[in-house]
Structure 1
């Protein structure tokens, strides 16, 4: 992948830019195997899940910089000045096509971008998620109610500029913090959820929902877990950290009880919407989602357990619960191989038997790993 912004030194986020994709993938696979070597034993590796080397991201988190009437959409440099990255080659074409229209709306609106060094201004971020059906969820992160009013008044212009935007929201984030969003989210459109169709399963994303940023690779990740489940034929599947139900819904089938646990009530509500749609098409599905602490919500008979934790991993408490549980198999999907190795060390009774490297983020050193663990 060639990138003018990288070549010009405007952006260095893609630390592997210039390295051939096959080399990147081989290096990632080598590192994962080295870190997990102490736990490998009889672990059988499948070929890695490849990604397109460019135009793969379905979500853009664009920092708004510049000045009123002349905003930038991209990142901030080391001095806090806006760097425009509307031509970044990482984004899906349908997602990138929204950047210029949104930029024109913001320029015409004249809302002042938030100046991080000076701690003044109004508009902080524009976040856009793109679905396989060509629709978008567009979020504007503002500093105050004044910003909310300004964006609300511009909604007709936003809808005219990006008619494929199914959901438009405003997040009010008044604090000067290194976090993306605040507690208040206002949905401006009739629709509040973006459907993400992945073959036979359609997920629904709310404004705060987590979803893998590489749709193609996410399909392959869920398909791998489904293949393992279909081979094991568990009567119960417990999906911890279930989010909007990605793993749970892909593993659901008539005659199998599926339970998803997630702390976010918003994500649970979206997962229930997807489950109802699936149940209306397929007789015999038994899917339950509930809000709760994934580190504590482990039933006496959890069946096949799926864990897909954040970068910090599942931690010692859940690792101890899984180690002591009657679960015969665990599918562990990890975005941090170092915490994965630590968690495996805390579960000696569960050994990795099959594994696969999943390249969710080409051009960077980030890598996902999915393992099937079996009781010794």
Structure 2
């Protein structure tokens, strides 16, 4: 995948109303080189082979829009909060074309349903007005949409339900619509309660022949094309090593586990979210695989006992990294090979230092987030010392 070297034009950047893309003034080639250099400075080791970085499209790549809703019900803004209220970013060039086309229609839904945007200006409960906090939209590779309205309470739930037929007619590509309830007056994107308003509760994400079923609160990489490259690279390394057993910690909806499944190989995925595990199992069933071939279990990845050490373990932790407990378990485990997918090179470097029995042998930067310093890096590690004790 190649990308042109141009600097992205952005009306919002030029107007000075949005600075979310901190690297927007740099050419894309310069951005990619800087990311490679930054990761190497933190995790490079003797003998580590760096594969060429995976580039992204500089624009139109972002499959999820996280929009703060401001303004009024009659004139809503979809974007971010500025010093004087909502800043409308509905034509942001980073979003996929399908999301850009859908956002004006969704703004029209806010107007039609009379959903009053939440007023964040007052710190006192008695001074707060409005219900609608955020709009979250995800587009699948097939062009289908998941639309989530984040409300302060269920007071306007009936309004959303009443006008849902209009939305489905105006946007036939909408597959899933939910209301998420987030009652707290703080910078939290979503709450714990999700009300599904459509027959379908998951969005199918087809990635290289594998269908992942994305629930409303499931994690999926923001850049679908680069996510596919991430899974392909992991699969190539695993097929080369040919382990009989694989453990996938932080497996989510099964992205790595389902891509690594192969005849004669048993895969176990561990994820703390029961909804994600159910979605992963649905993806396994779609592929015609049995639970004996690919097993998904609900558990804490930092402490789950995989039993006999697998031939390879994949870890895909959040930004905070593995932490001492899981890094310590892996260091003592006897697992011959690790694949570490990291969105934070700083915590990756810390975790590598906590696992001196493993030597990084290959690494690849994948640019999930053009126009920013954020990235993904995939590292293959091989054990160089035998396990000291059984965990």
TM-score interval, smaller chain: over 0.9
Unaligned runs of 5+ in 2: 1-7, 123-127, 385-391
Higher mean C-alpha displacement, 55-64 vs 283-292: 283-292
Say whether 1:371 aligns with 2:375.
Answer: no
Q: Is the counterpart of residue 61 in structure 1 residue 69 in structure 2?
A: no
Matched-pair contact (CA < 8 Å) for 2:235–2:260: yes
| C-alpha contact (below 8 Å) 1:254/1:283 kept by paired residues | no
1:285 deviates by: 7.2
Computed over aligned residues only, the root mean square deviation of the Cα atoms, in angstroms, reads 1.2
Taking structure 1 as the reference length, what is the TM-score of the superposition? 0.97
Does residue 274 of structure 2 align to residue 269 of structure 1?
Answer: no
TM-score (norm 2): 0.93
CA distance in 2, matches of 1:284, 1:332: 24
Q: 1:1-376 counterparts in 2 under 5 A?
A: 1-37=8-44, 40-79=45-84, 81-118=85-122, 119-279=128-288, 286-299=293-306, 300-376=308-384
For structure 1, list consecutive stretches of 5 or more residues without a partner in the other structure: none
Helix, strand or coil at the partner of 2:61: coil
CA–CA distance in 1 between the matches of 2:255 and 2:169? 32
Q: Which whole-Å deviations, capped at 9, do the CAs of 1:98-117 have from their partners, x for residues lacking one?
A: 10111111112221100111
- Counterpart CA distance in 2 for 1:131 and 1:270 is 15
Deviation of 1:49 after TM superposition, in Å, equals 0.7
Shift of 1:174: 1.3
Cα displacement string for residues 235-276 of structure 1 (whole angstroms, at most 9, x for unaligned residues): 011000000000000000111001000001111110011011
| Contact in 1 for aligned 2:284/2:290 (Cα 8 Å) | no
Counterparts of 2:329 and 2:158 in 1: how far apart (Å)? 48
Cα drift, residue 18 of structure 1: 1.8
**What is the count of residue pairs matched by the alignment?**
371
In 2, are the aligned partners of 1:137 and 1:194 still within 8 Å (CA)? yes
Which whole-Å CA distance do the structure 2 matches of 1:132 and 1:212 have between them?
13
User: Per-residue displacement from partner, 1:64-99 (whole Å, max 9, x unpaired)?
Assistant: 0001211000110134x1000011000111121110
Q: Compute the displacement of 1:158 (Å).
A: 1.4
By how many angstroms is 1:298 displaced?
3.6
Q: Is the 8 A contact 1:209 1:267 kept in 2?
A: yes
Distance 1:298 1:93, change over 3 A: same
Mean Cα displacement is larger for which, 186-195 or 172-181? 172-181
Q: Is the 8 A contact 1:201 1:249 kept in 2?
A: yes
Contact 2:112 2:163 in 1 (8 A): no
